Structure formats: C-alpha cells, structure tokens
Structure 1
C-alpha cells in the first residue's frame, strides 16, 4: 500500500483561472481582507453500476462552509456523501488578521469509495488540509495530505510545487495542491481536486468534480495613511506664517505683556 505525506508549497495569487464545475470565479473584485473555506464539494454524474444499478447525479454544495461574512467556522462529523466520500470529521475556519485573512479547511480519516473500481481497492487519506493566508506582502497557499493511497491510479508526486497531477487517461485526473489565481485577485487552494473524465472507455465512472478541502483568500486591505493632525507649532514673534500682509499679534487683556491691556487688539 502506498502511503504518502505531502507538505506542498506556496504561491502568490494575482490573475486568472477557474475551477471547472465546482468553484465559480466571482464577477466582481473580492472585498479586501475577505476569505472563505469549505471541507468538501461534489458535482458528478455517475454511470450505472458505479454506485448502484442506476446512474446517479450528485450535487452536494459546499460542506462545512465558513467565511468572513459568517459563520467563521463550521464542521461536520461522520459525514457520508452518498458513497463518494466518508470522513471522520470535515471542518473549516476563517480568521481575519489585521487587514488580511487566514482560511483553512480539513478532512480527517477520509475514504473515497467511488474511486475503488479504478484503484483496485480502498482509496483513503488520514489528513487532507488546505490553507491560504493574505498579508501586506501578498497571498500564499499550501496543502498537507497525509497517508494518501491511490492504488492503481498512481503515486502522488512528492514535489513541492502547486498543481501536481496524477490519474488514468480518459478516466480520472487528480490534482494535488491545486492553486487557482482568480481574476478578482483572490487565491483558491484545493488540497485535492478529483475530476471524472467521462468518456466511453472500459472502467469509466462518469463525469464531474470532487473537491476536498478548499480555502480562498482575497488580498489584504491596504494600510491607510495616518490621519492624525500635525502637532501645533508656535510662530516666532514678528514672523508672518501667512506669507504676506501685516502681522498682527493679539495679547489677552491683563497678560503680563500689557499690564493694563493697552495692547489688546480687541480693546475698544
């Protein structure tokens, strides 16, 4: 059995991409310092015989979803996704840090029964984590996958760079540490993105996408310039800070300089 521990690398998000069929790229710019995360999502159409005698369409939405708009964290325990995924725990968390944000998603003790026919046995992982963080320096993303066994599908690359793929041509493609630079400036990190490729090949399961552990971060808010008023200064006697015209100095009545107030400019 192949068991893998991956700590995948970082990337800075700025430009364009979209996660096909699962994650929609926002039409407008993301709010600075905002973020979101979810544990799992599936939108697939399975062929007859894969999970039962009849064909099956599954659209789960985003499971255990959190965001800066609320809730800040979410979790699901012992969550089955109609034979696609079982997990001991699925969770996500989003936390704002000053002008930036940290988004995380995690799946613990996961199995993917839907991939068993291709893998020749159970497909499982102890931990599937995704994380992104935005600061004034930019946005970084990373994934951690522990104990992943894909059987005959292949060995997950042990490289540190994002967007490593493994799979069976025409049947399934699995992207590890998928990092998508969205056109609104945000970065999306998907720890695992499983794409069923459909087709008419023997062993085909169907078509669609399963995303496991996803985190998105918008760029941090720019630091606002200080709006504190400048300290007051006293002009030297006889100077003209207005830059022109006759300089007039008014001394309060009774001040030591006047005694009787004879130099008071307001005296009638």
Structure 2
C-alpha cells in the first residue's frame, strides 16, 4: 500500500495471488494496526464559492506520504501543490521498530493559501513536524513548528503545550501540537490540525479538516524479566512509569511567536 503527496497509487496483483487469497479465511488477512505509523498531510474539505475560486470545491486527499512499521517504512513527496490548499517544498514520514517504536512526519517550507482570506496574508512555516516514541514504559510525543506565521488568525506563545487552540469562533479552529489518546492505548500527535467549521458567518471558508505532520505510536507490551539466578545479586530497581494519564508523557512543542507574514529561513536539515 502506498501514498502520494497530499495521493494514492494503484497496485497490480497477479492472478495466482488472488486465487491464493480466496482460500484464506477473512480473519487471517484482517488488517492489524501497526506499531507505528505516520503521514505528511491529509485534507478532507468542502470550500465555499469564492475561496480558491469562483465555485466551491471539495478535496479528499487521504493520507499522503504515508509510512508504517508494516511497510513502507518511509515516504517522501517533493514540490507539493495541493489544490491550492497547501504548498510545500517536501513532505516526508518514517516509522520503525528497531528497539523503541518511533514514528515521524515533517513538512518543509509549507504555506496554506486556503487560510489567506482570514490571515490577511498566506500563513507559512519553515518546518512543521511531529514525532512519537513508544517503549514498555510509555509513549512520548512532541511537535515542532519553526517560523509559523498565522497572521491575523492569532499568535502562539513560546513553548506551546499540547492541544493549544486559536482561531475564529464559528469559522476556523487551529489546534497546535494536538495529542489524542486512543482507547487501545495508542497515541496520535498532529503538529497542526486546521478545522474549517462551516457556518455562514462573514469570512466562512467551508467545512472539513486539514492535518499536517501526523505520527501515531501503539502501546508496547512489557517483557517479563526472569528471576535472578544468584540470590546474592541485587536486582535493578523497577523503571518508573511515564508521566501523565494512561502512561503517556508529553514533551511540549517549541513554537516561536509569529512574525509579519514572511517565510522564515530554515537551515537545511
């Protein structure tokens, strides 16, 4: 399974493989959630007339530049134009489970023209990234926003903590460093989640969601340590659980205050 930029690809399957799958019970081929997964961007929006064109448009991208520990473990798309919603120099993601489970996603030189009518200029960011790590002790997650400028939409304080929200009531909500704990113990971190709230207020853009730089890590089961063979040998103290509810510890993101609308210069990674 693959994804292209803020877009899907088709996979041809040989006839003998189809015949083999037909003999396998459904439970044997059911998808299991990977230990880690990530994607660069996704959009599912319906825009009103006058936003990015005279006619309203609907965009459904799926998860772009998608990766997972089940494969592919990395994905990248360069020079991204997405229906006028998002532009970026590159988006990428990776997911691995060599030791700790890690998942990462990043967008470089991003712009969101769709928000320009509310921001007064095109919102931009040098880097938008997220990362999560899962071990038997718990899950940590963080986001990074370099040179983020949302213009008139609002400013973010330095050291943005999880799930900070700004926007225009009834029209737009922007969630920064969004962290979502799922019922199965997994954790998703979205560096930036733009929610168009619909409505008919002045400045309404439409409805739907745009997610930038998303990473998800599953809860990792602990391993059982056998008792020591020598009673004279002291055992190591138990590892303390991660901080926070549900064994999730959060690393706050560092989001600089916004500037005057110009794109920040970002050092090459």
Indicate whether the TM-score tops 0.5.
yes
Alignment of 1:11-160 (within 5 A): 30=33, 34-98=35-99, 100-160=100-160
Counterpart CA distance in 2 for 1:159 and 1:226 is: 42
Runs of 4+ in 1 over 6 A off after TM superposition: none
Counterpart CA distance in 1 for 2:198 and 2:97 is: 40
Deviation per CA, 1:57-112: give whole Å up to 9, x if none. Answer: 100000100001100000000011100000000000111132x3000000000000
Counterpart CA distance in 2 for 1:94 and 1:103 is: 4
Select the structure of larger CA radius of gyration: 1
Deviation per CA, 1:242-264: give whole Å up to 9, x if none. Answer: xxxxxxxxxxxxxxxxxxxxxxx
Matched, 1:214 2:214: yes
Deviation per CA, 1:106-140: give whole Å up to 9, x if none. Answer: 00000000000000011100000000000121000
Q: Does structure 1 retain, via aligned residues, the 8 Å contact 2:50–2:56?
A: yes
Counterpart CA distance in 2 for 1:221 and 1:44 is: 37
Larger relative contact order (Cα-Cα within 8 Å, sequence gap ≥ 6):
1
Q: Does structure 2 retain, via aligned residues, the 8 Å contact 1:75–1:91?
A: yes
Question: Cα RMSD over matched residues?
Answer: 2.0
Deviation per CA, 1:187-215: give whole Å up to 9, x if none. Answer: 00000000001100011000000000000
Q: Please state how far the C-alpha of 1:50 moved relative to its aligned partner.
A: 0.2
Indicate the structure with greater helix content. 2
Q: Does structure 1 retain, via aligned residues, the 8 Å contact 2:137–2:222?
A: no
Counterpart CA distance in 1 for 2:76 and 2:225 is: 39
State TM-score, norm by structure 1.
0.71
Q: Secondary structure at the match of 1:62?
A: coil
The equivalent of 1:197 in structure 2 is 197
Q: Secondary structure at the match of 2:61?
A: strand
Counterpart CA distance in 2 for 1:200 and 1:160 is: 31
